[in-house]
Amino acid sequence: MYNIRLQDFEGPLDLLLFFIQRDEIDIFDIPIAKITDEYLEYVRQMDEVDLDGVADFIYMAALLIHVKVRMLLPKPEVDEEGEIIDPRQDLVERLLAYMRYKEAAEGLDVLHKKRGSLFTRGKASAPEIERDVVDTIVNTTVFQLVSALGRILAEASDAPTLAVEEVEYKVADQRAFVAEALSRKEKVVFGELVHDAPKRFVIATFLAVLEMAQQGLVWLALTPEADDFYVRHLSDPLQNGDLRLN
Amino acid sequence: MITEDDLPESDDRLRELARAIEALVFAADEPVEARQIASVVSEVSQGPPPTEEAIREAVDFINAACEQQERPLRIRQWAGGFRMTTTEDVAAYLKVYFRSDRRQKLTRSLMETLAILCYKQPATKPEIDYVRGVDSDYALRRLLDMGLIAVLERSDAVGRPLLYGTTPRFLEEFGLSGLDQLPNLREIEELLSDPSFSQARASLLMMQGIQQQEPPEPRDSQEES
Amino acid sequence: MITEDDLPESDDRLRELARAIEALVFAADEPVEARQIASVVSEVSQGPPPTEEAIREAVDFINAACEQQERPLRIRQWAGGFRMTTTEDVAAYLKVYFRSDRRQKLTRSLMETLAILCYKQPATKPEIDYVRGVDSDYALRRLLDMGLIAVLERSDAVGRPLLYGTTPRFLEEFGLSGLDQLPNLREIEELLSDPSFSQARASLLMMQGIQQQEPPEPRDSQEES
């Protein structure tokens, strides 16, 4: 058995391609039973692969087994015109397409490296003029603004994983959660509110709090240490002039 | 005019030093000190570092060549280091370029700061720092300079920090008639919740009703057939 | 060498245009398009804008002079505009000066995603996922953050997924003036008949210090399947 590491492969197609290249297999006539067994053998040792990749490898395993089973059918499958369908056809097409782009990626890498030895002007070098700052026109859309907000929130979290066992936390639910907490206590520290909770919970709660603040239902104030903030219940939402709408 | 004939024997070394200096000073993000140049050149050439005098001579050589060729760039020594700038006589071009032709894109840090401010104003700097997880000092100053935000008042909180908010100019630049025209959080969810846009981000943002988009060739059918 | 004697009468105009271009391209933070140069020059000179051909001629003039003078700077045509960069032969100095690569390294998964996008754009996430056989969510988000790709529009397909494409910044980062400068995707037949096809990956893995046994006996796959 070859001592290879799954993380050296970009994904299941890359791994299959490796088998094919290594064993000089005719890509148009893949010995599916053999390659499936070999593939499964590698996938079994997959403990080291991070969760992100597992689903993709397992999906391919299922697909390979399925093709293998179809190959074993006593009567070959036929399409509408009575032509025999090779169960491997889709897989082969995918492998071929992947090969082309994989090679293109290597080509891009070469371009990128070449470009890497050309340097553009650094910040120290600059034109000797006074820039008219106030006259700059902002070339940005509201969508970009919203994306920026999304980015802040997304980056507050760990690297995302595939939604395997993730529980969904909805902003609406978290609003109720916050409201409930504030019904017991007029003022809570955000950090305590979400103490030890999963990131998704924290973010949903944060969004809920932001939303409530925007609607004047709560008021946010920084704690004296400035490392957390209070969420305070506002009894009379009409008082709130916090958002200067227009 | 300085030509090859006028130069001493060390011509080649001077030229190579000048090339290194011109490239370094052009690409650096900070003024480059003579000793930095010396150490880089010494490391690359595997030889002794050039003296400060040699470096100065090479800079003069570059500037003399630029002047002789009427090129609009010079290397100047400022704040203890060398940097490259344009000559004054081309300032007119640059003024026109920077004024009208360059629609300035807001950098990411400016965008983030603005995004927080427009949804949560008035806000203090510590509040913005908290949400962004980084210091927003520079971003706030730039946005103030650009007239997109303003100091509204002082907060009642400890230390009475300044409260920032967006300006009418912000609305104008973003084509909004009022702050209430900003997408609300529900709409943000919708904007960002497109399943193919970014599922991880979307789910992080607690988007609802996300379904994994099927690939063009339906995977399910193969499993079912 | 291009000297004043060799130049036509319009010498002065060419020189002044070259000066304007060199200053603008030096000062700009992004590639400057010919039409931007034309409009700035026209405004400053209060005359007709220079033609694209004249601009190109002036750029060639600058580059020829730089080459003749052995200066380490050149103006390149990237992403539909002009950009000033150092030459390759001084890269050693800059790499030592900056120590690490200032540019972000692109991982294989980012490269693959980019490769698919630049040949197949606009493309949706499911399309990219399908070709790669893996979820490209993270790769797409990284590339969006790096500004190498952008959402172009929404597809008309079910669910109206977003369509991604490469940005001018991608062209700049890869030193391309346009997408048409990308090498053609190789045809399958050509790829398969390339003798390096079967060895490439094996040798790569060997280089990484991964032990490998001899491949099995060469065999006729027709018989075995």
Section B157-182 average pLDDT: 78
Interchain CB contact of C161 with B (< 8 Å): yes
Low-confidence winner among A4-8, A223-227, B29-33, C112-116 (lowest mean pLDDT): A223-227
Task: State the pLDDT at residue C114.
Answer: 95
Q: Give the side-chain half-sphere CA count within 13 A for B128.
A: 28
Q: A with C: how many residue pairs have Cβ under 8 Å apart?
A: 159
A78: its two tokens: 């036929």
pTM listed for this prediction: 0.60
Q: How far apart are CA A168 and CA B39, in angstroms?
A: 56
Is A50's pLDDT higher than 80? no
CA dihedral B52, B55, B60, B62 (to 10 degrees): -170
Considering only CA atoms, which of C62, C36, C61 is closest in space to residue C49? Answer: C36
Interchain CB contact of A210 with B (< 8 Å): yes
Is the CB of B195 less than 8 angstroms away from the CB of C161? yes
Q: Within 10 A of C135 (CB to CB), how many other CB atoms are there?
A: 21
Interchain CB contact of B209 with A (< 8 Å): no
Helix C108-120 with A89-116: angle, nearest 10 deg: 100
Q: A with B: how many residue pairs have Cβ under 8 Å apart?
A: 213
Report for A107-111, A223-227, C10-14: range of highest mean pLDDT: A107-111
User: Is C76 strand, coil or helix?
Assistant: strand
Q: Which of residues 164-183 of C touch B (CB under 8 A)?
A: none
Is the CB of B22 less than 8 angstroms away from the CB of C72? yes
Is C143's pLDDT higher than 70? yes
Is the CB of C85 less than 8 angstroms away from the CB of A101? no
Task: State the pLDDT at residue C162.
Answer: 82
Which residues on B lie below 8 Å from C27 (Cβ)?
86, 94, 97-98
Residue-wise pLDDT tens digits, A75-119 = 888 888 888 888 888 899 999 999 889 989 988 998 988 888 889
Contact A171, A213 (CB under 8 A): no
Considering only CA atoms, which of A97, A6, A110, A125 is closest in space to residue A58? Answer: A6
Interchain CB contact of A194 with C (< 8 Å): no
For residue B184, name the pLDDT band (cuts at 50, 70, 90). low
Is the CB of A150 less than 8 angstroms away from the CB of B192? yes
Beta strands in chain A (DSSP E): 187-189, 218-222, 229-233
What does pLDDT average to over chain A? 72
**CA angle B186-B192-B197, nearest 5°?**
155
Task: State the pLDDT at residue A162.
Answer: 35
Section A111-133 average pLDDT: 77
User: Which residue is listed with tokens 């005359």?
Assistant: C47
Interchain CB contact of B67 with C (< 8 Å): no
Report for A166-170, B104-108, C80-84, C186-190: range of highest mean pLDDT: C80-84
- Who contacts B93 (Cβ-Cβ below 8 Å, separation ≥6)? C20, C23, C24, C40, C41, C44
Task: State the pLDDT at residue B44.
Answer: 94
Report for A222-236, B168-182, C47-61, C185-199: range of highest mean pLDDT: C47-61
For residue B200, name the pLDDT band (cuts at 50, 70, 90). very low
DSSP state of A232: E
- Interior/surface letters A121-156, b for 16+ CB within 10 angstroms, e for the rest: bbebbbbbbeeeeeebebebebebbbbbbbbbbbee
Contact B148, B118 (CB under 8 A): no
Contact A102, A17 (CB under 8 A): yes
Task: State the pLDDT at residue C44.
Answer: 93
Task: State the pLDDT at residue A163.
Answer: 36
Section B87-98 average pLDDT: 90
Contact A219, A240 (CB under 8 A): yes
Percent of chain A having pLDDT more than 70?
Answer: 61
- Who contacts C125 (Cβ-Cβ below 8 Å, separation ≥6)? B196, B197, B213, C136, C137, C140, C161, C162, C164
Task: State the pLDDT at residue B43.
Answer: 95
* Min Cα–Cα distance to chain C from A122, Å: 9
Contact C106, A23 (CB under 8 A): no
- The residue of chain C nearest to residue A118, with distances taken between CA atoms, is C86
* Min Cα–Cα distance to chain B from C211, Å: 35
Task: State the pLDDT at residue A23.
Answer: 85
Is A147's pLDDT higher than 90? no
A135: its two tokens: 């006259």
Looking only at Cα atoms, what is the longest distance across chain A? 82
Q: How far apart are CA C41 and CA C197, in angstroms?
A: 53
Beta bridge partners of C151: C164
Looking only at Cα atoms, what is the longest distance across chain C? 80
Report for A82-96, B116-130, C29-43, C157-171: range of highest mean pLDDT: C29-43
Task: State the pLDDT at residue C195.
Answer: 65
Residue-wise pLDDT tens digits, C25-42 = 999 988 999 999 999 999
Q: How far apart are CA A201 and CA B211, in angstroms?
A: 20
- The residue of chain B nearest to residue C140, with distances taken between CA atoms, is B198
**Closest by Cβ to C36, choosing from B101, B195, B213:** B101
Residue-wise pLDDT tens digits, C119-141 = 998 999 999 999 999 888 888 88
* Min Cα–Cα distance to chain A from B68, Å: 20
Residue-wise pLDDT tens digits, A148-191 = 666 555 544 443 333 334 456 777 788 888 888 888 888 887 77
Q: How far apart are CA C16 and CA B12, in angstroms?
A: 31
Report for A112-116, B50-54, B182-186, C158-162: range of highest mean pLDDT: B50-54
For residue B9, name the pLDDT band (cuts at 50, 70, 90). low
Contact B165, B179 (CB under 8 A): no
Section C202-215 average pLDDT: 41
Report for A208-212, B149-153, C28-32, C193-197: range of highest mean pLDDT: C28-32
Is the CB of C86 less than 8 angstroms away from the CB of B194? no
Section B153-168 average pLDDT: 80
Q: Which helix (H) or strand (E) holds C150?
A: strand C149-154
Please name the chains neighbouring B, where neighbouring means 3+ C-beta pairs under 8 angstroms: A, C
ipTM of this predicted structure: 0.63
Please name the chains neighbouring C, where neighbouring means 3+ C-beta pairs under 8 angstroms: A, B
Question: SS3 letters for B66-115?
Answer: HHHCCCCEEEEEECCEEEEEECHHHHHHHHHHHHHHCCECCCHHHHHHHH
A63: its two tokens: 């697909």
Residues in chain C: 225
Residue-wise pLDDT tens digits, C88-108 = 999 999 999 998 656 678 899
Q: Which helix (H) or strand (E) holds A15?
A: helix A12-22
